[in-house]
């Protein structure tokens, strides 16, 4: 398990990303209502799910740090971080399923898209998530399932923004609304793969499973 100074640094990183994500979420929802833009509202509420997951990661670090000296945790507080990582893998998988379901609906019954607004929102989302990913990146992130779960959440959001920008740009020029739905399905598949891998790794840590 990583030492306390590393965990404290990770806690501060996740805390910063929670603030950044929360601020962006609030701005998008407020401006969504102000401009009557469903694109802004949808992205704002979608970001709220990541805000919740990142909040869980932050709370896990905080609780683990505060309970370090608690003798009732016979094996230390390291598994709190693994539990947070496992919980977030489930949230990530649920998000992927919801994206897939909505994308399939949009593919079967395409809706008219306000391309310029949607692209603008996707660019904002990508910018925020790239900053968050930079903050959370650590060369040994695989050794901390809690940090990895937070990192995967912002990378997953960045992925959906990238695919959306590409699909929306092509759709705007070719007037093909289904491209947006196809990009959502592809993103859901990739996010599901990440979520399953995270669940497997964090689950092994919770069960003290040895691969040897």
Write out pLDDT tens, residues 16-64: 999 999 998 888 888 767 766 555 666 777 778 788 888 998 998 888 8
- 136 φ, ψ to 5°? -85, -20
Q: What is the pLDDT of residue 211?
A: 62
> Helices in 36-144 by DSSP H: which ranges?
38-66, 78-108, 115-136
Domains of the chain listed by start with CATH number: 4-206 (1.20.1510.10)
Q: What is the pLDDT of residue 159?
A: 86
* pLDDT tens per residue, range 117-168: 878 888 888 899 899 999 988 765 456 788 888 888 888 888 888 888 888 8
**Selection from 11, 16, 12, 23 nearest residue 47 by Cα:** 23
pTM over 0.85: no
Q: Residue 3 gets which letter from DSSP?
A: -
Per-residue tokens: 25 = 């979420």
Does the pLDDT at position 67 exceed 80? no
Return the higher-pLDDT residue of 124 and 78.
124
Q: What is the pLDDT of residue 12?
A: 92
CA 31 – CA 38 distance, rounded (Å): 10
**Selection from 142, 159, 209, 143 nearest residue 50 by Cα:** 159
Return the H-helix or E-strand segment holding 9: helix 4-35
Does the pLDDT at position 6 exceed 80? no
CA 21 – CA 132 distance, rounded (Å): 8
Does the pLDDT at position 201 exceed 90? no
Q: What is the pLDDT of residue 1?
A: 44
Q: What is the pLDDT of residue 157?
A: 82
């Amino acid at each position: 398990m990583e030492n306390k100074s590393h965990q404290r640094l990770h806690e501060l990183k996740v805390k910063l990303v929670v603030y950044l994500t929360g601020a962006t979420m609030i701005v998008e929802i407020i401006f969504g209502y102000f401009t009557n833009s469903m694109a802004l509202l949808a992205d704002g509420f979608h970001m709220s799910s990541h805000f919740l997951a990142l909040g869980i990661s932050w709370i896990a670090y905080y609780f683990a740090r505060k309970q370090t000296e608690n003798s009732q945790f016979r094996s230390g507080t390291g598994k709190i971080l693994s539990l947070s990582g496992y919980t977030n893998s489930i949230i990530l998988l649920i998000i992927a399923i919801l994206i897939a379901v909505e994308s399939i609906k949009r593919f079967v019954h395409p809706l008219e898209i306000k391309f310029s607004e949607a692209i603008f929102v996707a660019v904002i989302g990508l910018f925020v998530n790239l900053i968050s990913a930079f903050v959370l990146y650590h060369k040994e992130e695989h050794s901390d399932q809690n940090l990895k779960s937070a990192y995967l959440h912002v990378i997953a959001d960045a992925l959906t923004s990238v695919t959306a920008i590409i699909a929306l740009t092509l759709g705007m020029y070719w007037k093909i609304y289904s491209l947006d739905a196809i990009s959502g399905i592809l993103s859901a598949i990739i996010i599901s793969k990440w979520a399953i891998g995270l669940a497997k790794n964090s689950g092994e840590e919770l069960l003290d499973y040895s691969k040897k």
